[in-house]
Amino acid sequence: MLDVTIDKIEDPIPVTVMRLAGELDASNFESLIQETQGLYNEGTRNLLLDLGGVEFVSSSGLVALHTMALIMRGETLDDPEEGWAAFRAISRDMLKSGDWERHFKLLQPQPLVQKVLNTSGFGDFMPVYEDVAAALASFE
Handedness of CA 25, 103, 16, 115 (dihedral sign): positive
pLDDT, one tens digit per residue, over 15-43 is 999 999 999 999 999 999 999 999 999 99
In total, how many domains does the chain have? 1
Domain of 90, in residue numbers = 2-137
Query: Mind listing the pLDDT tens digit for each residue in 59-102?
Result: 999 989 988 998 998 886 656 555 556 555 554 434 545 555 68
pLDDT by residue (tens digit) across 114-131? 999 999 888 877 889 999
Residue 75 contacts residue 99 (beta carbons within 8 Å): no
CA 68, CA 58: separation in Å to the nearest integer?
15
Q: Is the pTM of this model over 0.85?
A: yes
For the chain, percent helix, then strand, then coil, each to nearest 5?
A: 45, 25, 30
| 129: phi then psi, degrees, rounded to nearest 5 | -120, 145
Give the CATH number, domain containing residue 53: 3.30.750.24
